[in-house]
Chains A and B, each alone.
Chain A
Amino acid sequence: MSIEVSTLHTLPPYGMACEEKQAFLTEELKALSLHHVQRCPAYARMLEAAGCAPGDIRSYEELPPLPVRLFKEFSLKSVPEEELHRTMTSSGTTGQQVSRIFLDRETSTLQSKVLAAIMADYLGKQRLPMIILDTSAVIKNRAMFSARGAGILGFSMFARDKLYALDENMQLDVDGLTAFLEKHQGEDIFLFGFTFMIWQHFIDQLRKTGYQPDLSRGILVHGGGWKKLADQHITTEQFKDALRETCGLTRVHNYYGMVEQTGTVYMECECGRLHTPVWSEVTIRRPEDFSVANVGETGLIQVSSLLPRSYPGHVLLTEDEGRITGVDDCPCGRKGKTFEILGRIKQAEVRGCSDTYEQK
């Protein structure tokens, strides 16, 4: 029997061993798939075309994952128009199609509560003073409410006093930072930002100005992907070293997450592994046949989550490559699978007489 949605968030985030979790996920994702089949005709049609009857599955791995790009092309939702609470979009560059994710109150609340439970595991239950390593301009403009704004707002729930480290012109607010750190002397401080913004604007300006704020009591959570840093050949170590040198920040946690499955973020622990919390799972699939890869084998990352109830995004195939690094064996003590991200899959260079202008 599946668990009550209202109590879902009370599960310990990393308390369930992998084997038990697989049975739990199968039960829950089966029920969730049936929920979407009844409410989203498009999802029902896709499962029918794929020859999958969710009621008959023996493992959640038999559910066909929907490629995340489908959410850019189609409006997939499992709630009537009048129950929509908010529509989230992925942050694409101008001209790119963006994902549109439809949230009702139930899913939206669930996302917040689960995110809070995961964060409490890293930050403690107390709300901390928070420094956002970004500009307030991102959320002032409601029209551009994108993944970046949503991320900042979502993580801001864990704060009791907030400061944006960058002003509207992306300049470091030295006075603001100094005053904030004085006010909260002796306290742990939660810092949040997007990896590339931190590198490009925060670290860079600390280096240029020589200003050395003492962030040795800071806990940084950052995400948004390594792609831009990888393009500049910046490694995780260089990123962490730079933070230690410029502001004494040593507790640094990367996270992997996406707007299509907000809430169930995958946090990097003290040992440098990304962890799957109880509400979601990572499955590695082989590109050649989409079969499930072995531990340690590289493949496409599938993410499954119990949270999406207002849209059928509970089992998704990403275009990221990764591999499972362990099962119930992380020295940090958190149970479940751990994994690492190896980057985005290579875009194809197709042959043939397709369009010469459209390619760019």
Chain B
Amino acid sequence: MNRNDAYTTLCGGDWQNAKPLVPFADEVLAFLSDLSSLLMKTPAARSYPDVITFAFFCRKAHLEQLKADYEGALSTRIGRGLSFHIAPSNVPINFAYSLVAALLAGNACVVKASSQDFPQTRMVCSAIRQLLEGTHQALENHVNVVIYPREKQEITEMFSAACDSRIIWGGDETVRRVRMAALSPHANEVTFPDRYSLLAIKAEAVLQMDEKQLAAVAQGFYNDTYLTDQNACTAPRLVYWVGSGDALAKAQECFWNAVHSYAKPRYPLEAVVAVDKRIAAYRAALQLPGSRIVPMEDNLIVRIRLDELTPEIEQNRCAGGFFLEYASETLEDLAPVVERKYQTLSYFGFPKEALVGFVLENRLTGIDRIAPVGATMDFALTWDGIDLIRTLSRSIFAI
């Protein structure tokens, strides 16, 4: 670990001295697949499912698959140069995915990881260091992870002025603050600001499941929501039911009972979160006409039943298991409220093609990601509607 006056380097070398690479460069694929194996072999990683998922993402076969998805369309492309990343302060593993995407696109990377001391960050950076000091020394200048306090805007300014692409994760306020640091005129920028996500679920499909299948859906939904305190931008906050009558009522009961059974032994509900959710429920009462607090056996799951969808639903959110719920015979009522803030539509009981069609046919300005329940957090090289490989590389055009 290098400590310079201004920032601490967790891994990496001389970032000012790194040439761009072609997308999916052999040395990058080799480095990442070695990183994958090394992490898989690290005993301490086993207690961090997010690290294991990341290692799984970086395995050789998966990288080859990602490359193949581009079907050779990248042959005239090369990385833009130096990429500078601001990772979110409280999702530990996110910095690593941002790094991988930019590396695969052919860039040298400086990633500002969260200054919170996460074991996941330490584990991944230590593995990277080990590889860069060994067989992958050629990439030493390309793979830099740094930390510094967010107040040190001058460091953000330095990296911003030097980079060719800047990637900002975090909330709207982070994006605003980082944007005060000027980029070089030719540089481009990708921002992942605050987003809103929801689940579309078909009552009929829930009723067709046996107990075991339902438990699996509940587990997926738990991973989408409670696992990150329902605070990830991909976490559903609205549950849109397609169905009606007794079948709907029955399906809702089955679904929430299953979620409750799965969450109860796993999610420690803090007193302050219980109070926050009650406040959010009354806020919803005042801001969402006709809304009702659904009686539940405890405070683990708070459900607000809506008679209509209004633009205000997006502001009526709360961390820790707070769900707005709406039901209709079709998905059509969703279209008028969707705007740019809407990110992930997770689904259960629909063919995904129908949902993609729904977004396109209604010419929606939001919904960039469509994921089955349980997979909302799965990283992909196209995120928030942006193809990171293409955005972080340049195309050499010959007439």
Would A352 and B173 count as touching, CB distance under 8 A? no
Would B171 and A355 count as touching, CB distance under 8 A? yes
| Residue A290, interface by CB 8 Å | yes
**Contact partner of A350 among B94, B174, B229, B298, CB < 8 A?**
B229
Would A356 and B273 count as touching, CB distance under 8 A? no
Count, A-B residue pairs, CB within 8 A? 140
| Residue B328, interface by CB 8 Å | no
Given the complex, which residues of B lie within 8 Å of A353, measured CB to CB? 88, 90-91, 94, 169-171, 228, 231-233
Mark A343-360 against chain B: 1 for CB-CB distance below 8 A, else 0: 001111011111111110
Given the complex, which residues of A lie within 8 Å of B172, measured CB to CB? 355
Closest to A290 in B: B299
Interface 9-residue window, one of A48-56, A86-94, A172-180: A48-56
Would A351 and B299 count as touching, CB distance under 8 A? no
The answer for the CA separation of A331 and B282 in the assembled complex, in Å, is 41
| Residue B341, interface by CB 8 Å | no
The answer for the CA separation of A353 and B319 in the assembled complex, in Å, is 11
Taking each of A49, A67, A358, which has the highest tally of chain B beta carbons within 10 Å of its own beta carbon?
A49
The answer for the CA separation of A347 and B300 in the assembled complex, in Å, is 17
The answer for the CA separation of A355 and B297 in the assembled complex, in Å, is 32
Interface 9-residue window, one of B284-292, B330-338, B360-368: B284-292
Answer whether A288 and B299 are a contact pair too, CB < 8 Å, given A51-B292, A74-B286: yes
Mark A10-35 against chain B: 1 for CB-CB distance below 8 A, else 0: 00000000000000000000000000
Interface 9-residue window, one of B3-11, B183-191, B264-272: B264-272
Answer whether A356 and B88 are a contact pair too, CB < 8 Å, given A288-B299, A350-B231: yes
Would B285 and A356 count as touching, CB distance under 8 A? no
Given the complex, which residues of B lie within 8 Å of A348, measured CB to CB? 229, 270, 272-273, 276, 319-320
| Residue B194, interface by CB 8 Å | yes
Would A45 and B278 count as touching, CB distance under 8 A? no
Main secondary structure of the interface of A (DSSP, over half): loop
Would B275 and A67 count as touching, CB distance under 8 A? yes
The answer for the CA separation of A69 and B281 in the assembled complex, in Å, is 13
The answer for the CA separation of A19 and B211 in the assembled complex, in Å, is 47
Mark A308-332 against chain B: 1 for CB-CB distance below 8 A, else 0: 0000000001010100000000000
| Residue B274, interface by CB 8 Å | yes
Given the complex, which residues of B lie within 8 Å of A289, measured CB to CB? 297-299
The answer for the CA separation of A242 and B323 in the assembled complex, in Å, is 51
| Residue B89, interface by CB 8 Å | yes
Answer whether A357 and B174 are a contact pair too, CB < 8 Å, given A319-B275, A351-B228, A352-B235: yes
Query: Which residues of A32-48 have CB atoms within 8 Å of chain B's CB atoms?
Result: 42, 45-46, 48
Would B282 and A346 count as touching, CB distance under 8 A? no
| Residue A287, interface by CB 8 Å | yes
Would B171 and A354 count as touching, CB distance under 8 A? yes
The answer for the CA separation of A168 and B319 in the assembled complex, in Å, is 44
Closest to A355 in B: B171
Given the complex, which residues of B lie within 8 Å of A70, measured CB to CB? 279, 282-283
The answer for the CA separation of A352 and B89 in the assembled complex, in Å, is 9
Smallest CB separation, A69 vs chain B (Å): 6
- For chain A, the count of residues having a C-beta within 8 Å of the partner chain is 35
Would A73 and B170 count as touching, CB distance under 8 A? no
Mark A207-238 against chain B: 1 for CB-CB distance below 8 A, else 0: 00000000000000000000000000000000
Query: Which residues of B102-116 have CB atoms within 8 Å of chain A's CB atoms?
Result: 114
Answer whether A355 and B174 are a contact pair too, CB < 8 Å, given A288-B269, A345-B275, A346-B271: yes
- For chain B, the count of residues having a C-beta within 8 Å of the partner chain is 50
Given the complex, which residues of A lie within 8 Å of B340, measured CB to CB? none
The answer for the CA separation of A295 and B271 in the assembled complex, in Å, is 19
| Residue A66, interface by CB 8 Å | yes
| Residue B49, interface by CB 8 Å | no
Would A49 and B285 count as touching, CB distance under 8 A? yes
Closest to A69 in B: B279
Would B279 and A352 count as touching, CB distance under 8 A? no
The answer for the CA separation of A50 and B276 in the assembled complex, in Å, is 16
| Residue B160, interface by CB 8 Å | no
Smallest CB separation, A266 vs chain B (Å): 20
| Residue A278, interface by CB 8 Å | no
Query: Which residues of B342-399 have CB atoms within 8 Å of chain A's CB atoms?
Result: none
| Residue A117, interface by CB 8 Å | no
Would A354 and B278 count as touching, CB distance under 8 A? no
| Residue A103, interface by CB 8 Å | no
The answer for the CA separation of A73 and B173 in the assembled complex, in Å, is 21
The answer for the CA separation of A321 and B271 in the assembled complex, in Å, is 10
Given the complex, which residues of B lie within 8 Å of A321, measured CB to CB? 271
Would B293 and A50 count as touching, CB distance under 8 A? yes
Would B274 and A356 count as touching, CB distance under 8 A? no
The answer for the CA separation of A46 and B274 in the assembled complex, in Å, is 17
Smallest CB separation, A289 vs chain B (Å): 4
| Residue B230, interface by CB 8 Å | yes
Smallest CB separation, A338 vs chain B (Å): 22
**Contact partner of B320 among A69, A290, A350, CB < 8 A?**
A350
The answer for the CA separation of A173 and B50 in the assembled complex, in Å, is 62
Given the complex, which residues of B lie within 8 Å of A131, measured CB to CB? none
Smallest CB separation, A65 vs chain B (Å): 9
Given the complex, which residues of B lie within 8 Å of A74, measured CB to CB? 286
Given the complex, which residues of A lie within 8 Å of B72, measured CB to CB? none
Given the complex, which residues of A lie within 8 Å of B59, measured CB to CB? none
| Residue B150, interface by CB 8 Å | yes
The answer for the CA separation of A73 and B278 in the assembled complex, in Å, is 14
| Residue A269, interface by CB 8 Å | no
**Contact partner of B284 among A42, A49, A350, A359, CB < 8 A?**
A49
| Residue B295, interface by CB 8 Å | yes
Mark A275-293 against chain B: 1 for CB-CB distance below 8 A, else 0: 0000000000001111000
The answer for the CA separation of A348 and B271 in the assembled complex, in Å, is 9
Smallest CB separation, A318 vs chain B (Å): 9
**Contact partner of A357 among B177, B272, B292, CB < 8 A?**
B177
Given the complex, which residues of B lie within 8 Å of A51, measured CB to CB? 292-293, 295
| Residue A300, interface by CB 8 Å | yes
Would B228 and A352 count as touching, CB distance under 8 A? yes
Closest 3 interchain pairs by CB? A352-B231, A355-B171, A49-B285
Query: Can you list 27 residue pairs at the A/B interface with Cβ under 8 Å?
Result: A42-B286, A49-B291, A51-B295, A70-B279, A287-B269, A287-B271, A287-B275, A288-B269, A289-B299, A345-B271, A347-B272, A348-B272, A348-B276, A352-B232, A352-B235, A353-B91, A353-B94, A354-B194, A354-B231, A355-B170, A356-B90, A356-B114, A356-B173, A357-B171, A357-B173, A357-B177, A359-B89
